[in-house]
A and B are shown apart, each in its own frame.
Chain A
Amino acid sequence: MGKITGAQMIIKCLKEEGVEVIFGYPGGKVIPLYDALFDSDIRHILVRHEQGAAHAADGYARVTGKTGVCIATSGPGATNLVTGIANAHMDSIPMVAITGQVGTAQIGTDAFQEADITGIAAPITKHNYLIKDVKDLPRVIKEAFIIASTGRPGPVLIDIPVDITTDLIDENFKADISLPGYKPTIKGNLKQVKQAAKKIAESKKPVIFAGGGVISSGASDILRKFVKVAKIPVITSLLGMGSYPENNELSLSMAGMHGTKYANLAFTEADLIIAVGVRFDDRVTGKLSEFAPGADVIHIDIDPAEIGKNVKVLIPVVGDAKIVLTDLKSEYEKYIEKKGKPNWEQWLSRIKKLKEDYPLKYDRNSNKVKPAYVVEKIYELTKGDAIICTEVGQNQMWAAQYYKFTKPRTLVSSGGLGTMGFGLPAAIGAKIGRPDKTVIDIAGDGSIQMVSQELSTAVTNKINIKIMLLNNGYLGMVRQWQQIFFKGRYSHTCIYNCVDFVKLVEAYGGVGLRVKKKEEVENAIKKALEIDNLVLVDFWIDREENVYPMVAPGSPISEMLESEMLEGV
């Protein structure tokens, strides 16, 4: 039997897991690993900062459903991954992060580029490993992929001391996995599902609340089928967007702080919430004690710890969203076959009225370049068929409000952690995962400057993403809060005219376009979509445009601030 190095074993195991692409950055303690990678046909994307590697792996995972993989060296390489790992953890994204570590004999001596990354990453990973024996590699890598991609997905970190990667091991060495404590519940308890079906049929004003769990379990299809039968309005969380088509009359889009007023009012008036794969984040619920005051909650989630964490739940169902919804649909059909269909006409017409009375609105007659107008045009010109990545802040909320998401895995956005600088590297990962799709990063000028070096990664690798930069020269969301809640004192939020974005993207070899007038918007987007290169369109938007509607922090979601109320503030 031939011997191979630990590094070669790592590559062999990654190939066995079906890994096609790795996002990474070499360094001292991963040189042997990169040496083995050099001979492999796994694609490697060299980023310009390790944070970009983690976000790109995250974006890749979100659009493909596969586990994203990133590599960094020990010490600063590993700590630079931390934000990206935390981001994936908050949004339950499957990821395996491999970090180099100082040699086993040096661990704990404050050696050069040593950091206790398993300790640092413990609260932000689903699980992590420090390898101490080359023979553990095959088992640990197998376990890491299982843990990352099953149950509630999440990031797993494997920290590998450099000597392990040069130790020799039999090339066919195999070891069984051992996960005695890991048994996610997949099939929901049928008794609970039956109760849920009955409760739904007996309700008067039900709404479905669909989240990221619907998308990650591949339940969008069965959700649509269930809604087709049951005719229940659907509200989504930010991460649930695309799980149900927003152009359907039963869709109420996103609820919460910057959600639609009709979604928030539907929550407030509902008598039953059927929550699937959501965690009732504070950005959705607003003031928790006044959230959906009249509603009982059926909560379907694969993570039992989410059930009852924030809101009181009447019927919990622990299980995979796809499997539970399949059972729920068939139990519901059985129930109504026996007892007849519930009559929700009044509720459905109320929903229709809410949608008519409180549409999203902005000043369509303005001559200025309104960000909502830009996003609407992007939607129109991509025929709703693009993958939309966002940065974090106003750009993210305008993208969520004005692009109509109709398919799962088409919105790539940092929900839980709210990571500025996520969008560009995530778009790179998304385009690699879905080269057949138009991938657009709807960006803000603050966020993109946190990661603008990744323009180089994209151009060098011919990853032709399109960046639609909503440039207002502000850290806009913070400025909005300062305007509304801090008497307009714009403390350190103005970044006006600090860089010429067109020149910046040109310096990296991409194409830059600038739009200062409303009438140029459409052509610029068309042109950007046609050019076979990375394109950044620098839209000089109305600088003090705010995101509305808005729920003030600490307020119930039924109380929404709207643009007219704040005129002249």
Chain B
Amino acid sequence: MNHIISVLVENKAGVLAKISGLFSRRGFNIESLAVGPTDDEKISRITLAVNAEEHSIEQIIKQLYKLINVIKIQELDPSNIVERELVLIKVGADSKTRPEILEIVSVFRANIVDVAKKTIMIEITGNSSKVKALEDLLRPFGILELVRTGKIACSRGSKS
């Protein structure tokens, strides 16, 4: 089961290491991780995507709460969130394939952020399935590099 956990932490040195260390020593895997300050500069938000059983996820959250620098943890309900990831994809492109790639990019409402003689760099923002679909379509052209931010997510409506 995929879970997205949003963790508010004190913005202090070493906090990320404490969190990632906890995952590895308790035997949990992190699928993706994104960190950044919130509107309060003393507080950062870490968004973790984790693949684990229900029982494990409960234990992960409890163990996270034991870290002194962790302020709040929220497990987001996947049916009621906006989930995004930004991905940069560099694909091989020549004059022959370029139009086809541009067409795919425009269908996905992705952006071209760099064009060189033999490559194109595409920026796409979206949820995992959208990103995955684009990735699959671009693969035949030769993906040279793929860089992703990790998932971030926010629950819908007034719930915070």
Contacts and interface: CB of A to CB of B under 8 A. Distances in A.
Contacts of A119: 17
B27 interface: no
Interface string A478-521: 00000000000000000000000000000000000000000000
B71 A180 contact: yes
Contacts of A182: 68
Contacts of B66: 126, 303, 305
B14 interface: yes
28 contacts: A118-B14, A119-B17, A122-B17, A123-B21, A123-B25, A126-B66, A126-B68, A127-B67, A130-B13, A132-B13, A179-B68, A180-B10, A180-B71, A181-B10, A181-B67, A181-B68, A181-B69, A181-B70, A181-B71, A181-B72, A182-B68, A304-B62, A305-B59, A305-B62, A305-B66, A308-B55, A308-B58, A308-B59
How many chain B residues sit at the interface, stated as a range, is 20 to 34
Interface of B: 9-10, 13-14, 17-18, 21-22, 25, 55, 58-59, 62-63, 65-72
A147 interface: yes
A181 B17 contact: no
Interface string A43-85: 0000000000000000000000000000000000000000000
Contacts of B22: 123
Interface of A: 118-119, 122-123, 126-127, 130, 132, 147, 179-182, 303-305, 308-309
Given A181-B67, A308-B58, A130 B9 contact: no
Given A180-B10, A181-B10, A122 B18 contact: yes
Nearest to A143: B68
A566 B69 CA distance: 53
B10 A309 contact: no
Contacts of B71: 180-181
A-B residue pairs, 10 tightest by C-beta: A305-B62, A181-B71, A127-B68, A181-B70, A180-B71, A304-B62, A182-B68, A123-B25, A305-B63, A122-B21
A160 to B, nearest CB: 15
Contacts, number: 40
A304 B65 contact: yes
A147 B68 CA distance: 8
The residue among B22, B55, B59, B66 with the most chain A CB atoms within 10 A of its own CB is B66
A500 to B, nearest CB: 43
Contacts of A309: 59
B23 to A, nearest CB: 12
A130 B21 CA distance: 17
B9 A181 contact: yes
Contacts of B14: 118, 130
B18 to A, nearest CB: 6
A359 B92 CA distance: 79
Nearest to A119: B17
Contacts of A130: 13-14
A145 B70 CA distance: 19
A308 B57 CA distance: 12
A304 B73 CA distance: 14
Contacts of A305: 59, 62-63, 65-66
B50 to A, nearest CB: 16
Nearest to B62: A305
A56 B115 CA distance: 67
Contacts of B59: 305, 308-309
Contacts of A179: 68
A518 to B, nearest CB: 49
A126 B67 CA distance: 8
Contacts of B63: 305
Nearest to B60: A305
Contacts of B68: 126-127, 147, 179, 181-182
A301 to B, nearest CB: 11
A202 B17 CA distance: 48
Nearest to B72: A181
A437 B21 CA distance: 42
A57 to B, nearest CB: 20
Contacts of A147: 68
B48 to A, nearest CB: 16
A179 B42 CA distance: 12
A318 to B, nearest CB: 10
A121 B155 CA distance: 36
Given A181-B9, A304-B65, 7 more contacts: A122-B18, A122-B21, A123-B21, A127-B67, A181-B70, A305-B59, A305-B65
B60 to A, nearest CB: 10
B11 to A, nearest CB: 11
A480 to B, nearest CB: 31
A210 B70 CA distance: 30
Contacts of B62: 304-305
A445 to B, nearest CB: 34
A279 to B, nearest CB: 13
A182 B17 CA distance: 19
A126 B65 CA distance: 12
B13 to A, nearest CB: 8
